[in-house]
Amino acid sequence: MGKRSSVIRCSATPSSPPASLNLEGSQPKDPPVASWLGLGFLINGSDFTRKAVQKHGHIWKANVLGAAIYGLAGDTGLRAFYDENNVKRFPGMSTNLEQAAWVLKDDSGDAHYAIPPLDGVNWQPQEGPITDGKMNWKQRKAQFMAGIDTRDAVETYISALDAGISDTIAKLAASDSEFALWDTINSLVLGGLSKAFFGYGIADYELGEAAMISNIQTGYTVFDDKLGGASQKQKDAFKANVRYLREALAQYRARPHKYPWAGLGRYLAAAEKLKMPDEDILMDMHQMICVGAYGGVTSAAGCMAYSLAKNPEVRAMVKSEIGANLGTETPTFASLKQLPYTFAVLKECLRRWPIVHIVRGFSIQDIVVEGKKIPKDATVIAALHGTMHDPTVYKDPEKFDPLRFMPPRNEGADEVWTGYQVVFGAGESSSQHACAGKNTAMLMLFVLLVRLAQNWQWELVSPWEHLVTNHFSPDPSNRLRMRRCR
């Protein structure tokens, strides 16, 4: 690769206001300072980036307890962040994956790495064909996605996903009429996902549904210093998760013909071609089940259930659209087009409650975006929450308003840099770091939304209850209880 100039100028897009164009010869400015102390960022990061974008625009700086952080948002900001020439991720993995690697290392003696290696040291990009069985992160990610996230793959397990969700709804419907929102959503998502992915629902599994959910909840808690900073209960729960995945893998392998449509079969076919060790496979399974589905889909689904409980008129419109177009049938990919309002509700839930509010990296060159300079070696964040509440794209961004995604408004509807899908990280999944499980997650949420609407009406037990937002994401808690109603 030839030597590059030390300043990268991001070409301004037509959507940038004229005042922010990078005119040749004009001097880049320091970004406006959104905060000198950064306490707001530490207390409630989502809120902070939303206000920063609304007040200062797409590029700003925050001093957080003395350390400078540069925020990038909107079309030009996110394009600059996701350009590999500008920004690199910190080497290594998310804390949660590191914990899983640690547990697996205890068992096998070797360190193992999941998708994604996040540009980490063990999966350095490699030019040319794969000769030693090691792939660069893009190749390995493509493999992972071929297993679980292509349209074709998802079609094979959609009915299992639906069966898992429907079984769980039926079981809940037969018992009480008042539910803890968070536990209910956990059961539904894990019930659907484990059936779709492993071939059987968690309720069938010997560990038992309640134990599985409580293990994942306890073991998922992010703790410091590998397993050193965790309580014994967290360590045990974390190990139980990994043990569960290992047993699920053995059970699937013992009877693959029984679950020919399950996602795991397709994923294993891809992994076996590469002769991946079981520990690497388990890390990927951990990413899919515990991080993606538990950490991602359950939070998003919890926010979705909350939004619908809060907005009975939206719930009624969803129900009536489904009644008129789908009746009681199983939703499929085609239903996304048949049910435009329901799809718009899903998009609005993801936009209003983005469960990953920022992504972090560091600048590897000086960057100039919208005339503002970000120095080399700075901590930079992609402000996902702020982007999805940008008033230049979304009218009244704080309002829960699904019609914004329907004609004639179509606010940022399918934009990969500013639309609702920025909740999965911006840009392309195949060539950049955006979520590898985007389609799977969207489909799970959609099937869940349709099945809940077909089978249930629900409302919050206490109407003044709200989502708990913290520095990480909006969190539906068990304090939120829902009541079934007709």
Closest residue to ligand HEM, Cβ-based? 437
Q: Return the number of the residue (315 or 385) whose C-beta is nearest ligand HEM.
A: 385
| Shortest distance, position 103 Cβ to ligand HEM, whole Å | 19
| Shortest distance, position 356 Cβ to ligand HEM, whole Å | 4
Q: Return the number of the residue (203 or 384) whose C-beta is nearest ligand HEM.
A: 384
| Shortest distance, position 355 Cβ to ligand HEM, whole Å | 5
Q: Return the number of the residue (230 or 262) whose C-beta is nearest ligand HEM.
A: 262
Q: Return the number of the residue (186 or 287) whose C-beta is nearest ligand HEM.
A: 287
| Shortest distance, position 301 Cβ to ligand HEM, whole Å | 8
Q: Mark out the alpha helices in 290-401 (DSSP H runs).
A: 299-310, 312-325, 333-338, 340-352, 384-387
Provide the phi-psi class of 25: left if phi over 0, else alpha when psi is between -120 and 50, else beta: left
| Shortest distance, position 131 Cβ to ligand HEM, whole Å | 23
Q: Return the number of the residue (60 or 137) whose C-beta is nearest ligand HEM.
A: 137
- Of 480, 67, 153, which Cα lies nearest the Cα of 333? 153
Q: Mark out the alpha helices in 255-298 (DSSP H runs).
A: 263-273, 278-286
Residue 114's SS3 state is coil
Count Cβ neighbours within 10 Å for each residue of 105-115 and write b for 16 or more, e otherwise. Answer: eeeeeeebbbb
Q: Return the number of the residue (402 or 437) whose C-beta is nearest ligand HEM.
A: 437
Provide the phi-psi class of 251: left if phi over 0, else alpha when psi is between -120 and 50, else beta: alpha
Q: Return the number of the residue (230 or 356) whose C-beta is nearest ligand HEM.
A: 356
| Shortest distance, position 15 Cβ to ligand HEM, whole Å | 21
Cβ-based neighbours of 365, under 8 Å, separated by 6 or more: 4, 6, 7, 8, 85, 86, 376
| Shortest distance, position 222 Cβ to ligand HEM, whole Å | 15
Specify whether the CB–CB gap between 114 and 105 falls below 8 A. Answer: no
Binding site for ligand HEM (CB under 6 A): 115-116, 118, 141, 148, 287-288, 292-293, 296-297, 300, 355-356, 359, 423-425, 433-437, 440-441
- Tokens matching residue 88: 């690199």
- Tokens matching residue 13: 């897009």
Please report, as a single letter, which amino acid is at residue 196.
A
